[in-house]
């Protein structure tokens, strides 16, 4: 799936595999990653994973110039 906003993800517990544009990466506690809007991504092999998402909509809060 994808979103039309930027997403910052913080992995708190557990493990899994994050797939971004068909590239797989292992994720574990302490990992932080940023997904820009319209990036196709998914999770698999999730084992007790708990993560926190911070979603940022550029249409509502544009970056200053």
Per the DSSP assignment, residues forming a β-bridge with 20 are 23, 41
Q: Select from 21, 18, 16 the least CA-distant residue to 49.
A: 16
Give the Cβ contact number of residue 59 at 10 Å: 8
At 28-40, the pLDDT tens digits run 999 999 998 889 9
- Residue 64 forms part of a structural domain: no
Residue 63 has pLDDT above 80, yes or no: no
- Residue 21 forms part of a structural domain: yes
Cite the DSSP H helix spans in the chain.
none
pTM over 0.85: no
- Residue 61 forms part of a structural domain: no
pLDDT for residue 32: 98
Residue 65 has pLDDT above 90, yes or no: no
- Residue 45 forms part of a structural domain: yes
The total number of structural domains that make up the chain: 1
- Residue 65 forms part of a structural domain: no
* Among 11-15, 27-31, 39-43, 58-62, the least confident range: 58-62
Residue 38: domain span: 6-56
- Residue 50 forms part of a structural domain: yes
């Amino acid at each position: 799936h994808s979103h039309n906003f930027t997403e910052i993800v913080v992995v708190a517990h557990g493990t899994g595999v994050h797939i971004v544009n068909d590239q797989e990466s292992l994720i574990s506690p302490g990992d932080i990653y940023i997904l820009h809007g319209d990036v196709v991504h998914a999770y698999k092999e999730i084992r007790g994973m708990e993560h926190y998402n911070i979603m940022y909509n550029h249409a509502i809060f544009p970056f200053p110039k």
